[in-house]
Structure 1
Amino acid sequence: MMRYRSFSDVVEDVRNKKPIRMSIAAAHDLAVLEAVKEAAGLGIIEPILIGDEKQIKQMSGLMDFRVEDFKVIHTDTDEQASHTAAKLASEGKVQAIMKGLVNTTPFLKGILNKELSLRTGRIFSHLSAFEIPGTGQLLFMTDGGINIAPDYCQKKQIVLNALEFLDKVGIACPRTAILAANELVMETMPVTCEAGRLVAELKAEYSKPLLIEGPLPLDLAISKESLLHKGIESSLEGRADLLIVPTIEAGNIFGKAITYYAHGTMAGIVLGARVPLVLNSRSDSAKAKLASIALAVAAASNAAIPV
């Protein structure tokens, strides 16, 4: 059973694997090219840079990035770049896709194109990973980035997306907490009822070992001291690997609190397509961008994608 302690662990893990091919949609962006350069230099990806070829080469020259060593595909628009990146994945020519200087909506539109074969029938969801000082392990959370108001069936798919990702990166029997404001199922608090149902169904249906509890407030999911203080027994032992938030607002606030108050680093990828998608914010640090690429590599390295 493996637990990543830090993003450095993820990078070192994937450096021992064969590099994957990754298409970068609208790669004409300095921050994106810097992350791609570092990942390529570490030998974890072979990038295909898609977008304004002239800008890509000019920007690469500023950072001494030899793009001549990799394939560059010129496109005139962001929509064309997104479609091309997705088409390469659909044809099995790349194993992951990264968003460059293109808005999320046109980027995902390219992925969802019905003419391509990247849909799995499952909802797209955002999975965050946090490196938090003093904790000694990476913490995962979903979905604080894409789905605004998922219904019960969608939320179940969001959980399954995350569980399957953790399995791909080698985290066996993930300790999963369905978060709410109370550990008791109460009809007056519908989120707790939903959490209880999710736990019951996933325990019965999930095909691999799984420790899952809910509803659980955050303190009981991540603090053994809180469990002892409240006299509550938990198979998670206050050491959750994966937190399932009830709403996008809860996930968004949680993620930014970790980043700004706890000085943590957040990486993230989008799950639900046939290949992992890297969607970083322009404000993300270089470390966060590299960590997101490494997480995608860890998942794609174990995915059955035809090449």
Structure 2
Amino acid sequence: MTDTKTSLTNKTYDEIKIGDSATLTRKLTKQDIQLFATVTGDMNPAHLDESYAKTDIFHQIVGHGMWTASMFSVLLGMQLPGPGTLYLGQTLKFLKPVHLGSTITASVKVLKKDDEHKHITFETLCTNEDGEHVLEGEALVLAPSKTIRWDALPLPEVQIKTQAHNHETWLLDKASSLKPLRVAVVHPVDMFSLEGAIEAAKAGIIDPVLIGPEGKIRKIAAENDLDLASYRIIPTLHSHAAAALAVKLANEGEIDALMKGKLHTDELMEAVVDKNIGLRTGRRMSHVFVLDVPSYPKPLFLTDAAINIKPDLMEKKDIVQNAIDLFMALGLGSPKVAILSAVEMVTEKIPSTLDATALCKMAQRGQITGALVDGPLAFDNAISKESAEIKGIVSDVAGDADILVVPDIESGNMLYKELRYFSGAQGAGIVLGAKVPIILTSRAGDAESRVASSALALLYARRRPS
């Protein structure tokens, strides 16, 4: 991008006359508030949370008022007198609150000049869109004696990354009152999987059984200062053997869940889906992410982005029902389920729109239960009320979805990673539809995501619909 330069020229003390003035108008946006709080370190919720600020006029006047007062510095330093001005003092009187969305006009006007010291006193005033005075005061400056010209570069582009909503903490709080799960941790021969299992155990969520090459497990523990004294280790030669043994223990009722360690998902799931010794039920297995997306106001469920490559209609039915069952097991009530496609209109040229239509009819006829289901919906109108309204979509799900059901693993995997890396989404994930829940995270997933996924598995195992 080519920088566009703006030339700034000041007015010297001798050029300025009594009554000279300058104005600046700006609208207070959410990003302005966030940036001001970040720069100043003022994280008072009365300034950042508009719903709270409306109940605390004093803090709102001071917090947003200080943003308003900063406009005087811009005027004096860039317009009148301009470059070379030294700000010596400022009085402020806050008169009315400044709300998010207010349009503020700041003005400075020369009141008097001190020829001996080259000082100028300015009247400083801010008014809102209704012409009401919100801020008054006086500024004292040392005006420049020589003409100065500056080439001012555009301000840098700044992106605000909001913090997560602590949905993972909420999961841990809900799980803390339940009896821990006996979990087979399959091939935990890296720091993330081993530490994740130990942290989940310390949190009282799981009672781990570590299955894999004992030498490698102990080596990783020693390298990362992890104490294994409290945990059972069942040695196996390699990851295939660890997966097979974990499945065997689940079938025998010795464990309540599986946790993936450092091995490929296909390798673990091969043992899980084995027709003779696996953990199959009458339900199709599927994966559900529970995501904390900073820009979305509630937990967002995403399925299936990890197991089913190109599910058919009846497989999608089970995928939807698995996600609904998990949502309800978490005590969240009845979810709003959006069946995603590329468009919101039904067309035979896009098969996923036909599947979405059929799934909605299944929900109406009781083949899918416990949720409000709608589709096809494009991603934007599934999560944005504004987008849904623009496209004329009348739906209780559109713009307020709890669960997103993707057409296939390609779209789901890409959507998850886009949310993860572009939006800073954090999440937990488990596989449902087997005899026991399977804690399935990326091999690169950190310990925190494994602990949250363990909490998901515990809540589901103890509260799943009968």
TM-score (norm 2): 0.61
Is residue 2:377 matched to residue 1:196? no
| Cα 1:193/1:115, change in 2 over 3 Å | closer
Q: CA RMSD in A?
A: 2.1
Aligned residue in 2 for 1:26: 187
How far residue 36 of structure 1 moved from its aligned partner, in angstroms, is 0.9
Residue of structure 2 aligned with 1:143, choices 299, 304, 322: 304
Q: Which amino acid aligns with 1:96?
A: A
Residue of structure 1 aligned with 2:204, choices 25, 43, 67: 43
How far residue 121 of structure 1 moved from its aligned partner, in angstroms, is 2.6
Unpaired runs of at least 5, structure 1: none
Aligned residue in 2 for 1:123: 284
SS of match in other structure, 1:301? helix
Q: Check conservation: 1:128, 1:268, Cα contact below 8 A.
A: yes
Q: Check conservation: 2:336, 2:372, Cα contact below 8 A.
A: yes
Aligned residue in 2 for 1:161: 322
Deviations 1:160-207 (A, max 9, x none): 222222222223211100112222222333321221111101221247
Q: Which amino acid aligns with 2:446?
A: S
| Cα 1:207/1:280, change in 2 over 3 Å | closer
Is residue 2:445 matched to residue 1:284? yes
Deviations 1:224-272 (A, max 9, x none): 2223333332112521110011122211111111011111123222222
Is residue 2:153 matched to residue 1:14? no
Aligned residue in 2 for 1:259: 420
How far residue 303 of structure 1 moved from its aligned partner, in angstroms, is 4.5
Aligned residue in 2 for 1:234: 395
How far residue 212 of structure 1 moved from its aligned partner, in angstroms, is 0.8
Larger mean CA deviation between 199-208 and 26-35 belongs to: 199-208
How far residue 274 of structure 1 moved from its aligned partner, in angstroms, is 1.0
TM-score (norm 1): 0.91
Residue of structure 2 aligned with 1:187, choices 341, 348, 354: 348
Is residue 2:403 matched to residue 1:246? no
Q: Check conservation: 1:203, 1:210, Cα contact below 8 A.
A: no
Aligned residue in 1 for 2:385: 224
Larger mean CA deviation between 26-35 and 42-51 belongs to: 26-35
How far residue 45 of structure 1 moved from its aligned partner, in angstroms, is 0.6
Unpaired runs of at least 5, structure 2: 1-164
Higher helix share: 1
Provide the rounded CA distance (Å) in 1 between the counterparts of 2:224 and 2:426: 24
Q: Give the structure with higher Rg (CA).
A: 2
Q: Check conservation: 1:51, 1:75, Cα contact below 8 A.
A: yes
Provide the rounded CA distance (Å) in 2 between the counterparts of 1:52 and 1:80: 10
Larger mean CA deviation between 123-132 and 222-231 belongs to: 222-231
Provide the rounded CA distance (Å) in 1 between the counterparts of 2:440 and 2:368: 29
Aligned residue in 1 for 2:158: none
How far residue 54 of structure 1 moved from its aligned partner, in angstroms, is 2.1
Aligned residue in 1 for 2:460: 299
Larger mean CA deviation between 185-194 and 213-222 belongs to: 185-194
Q: Which has the higher contact order (CA 8 A, sep 6+)?
A: 1
Q: Which amino acid aligns with 1:19?
A: P
Q: Check conservation: 1:5, 1:136, Cα contact below 8 A.
A: no
Deviations 1:137-166 (A, max 9, x none): 110111121211111122222112222222
Provide the rounded CA distance (Å) in 2 between the counterparts of 1:207 and 1:246: 17
Is residue 2:307 matched to residue 1:174? no
| Cα 1:63/1:43, change in 2 over 3 Å | farther
Provide the rounded CA distance (Å) in 2 between the counterparts of 1:37 and 1:203: 44
Residue of structure 1 aligned with 2:258, choices 87, 97, 100: 97
How far residue 21 of structure 1 moved from its aligned partner, in angstroms, is 0.8
Q: For this pair of structures, how many residues does the alignment match?
A: 302
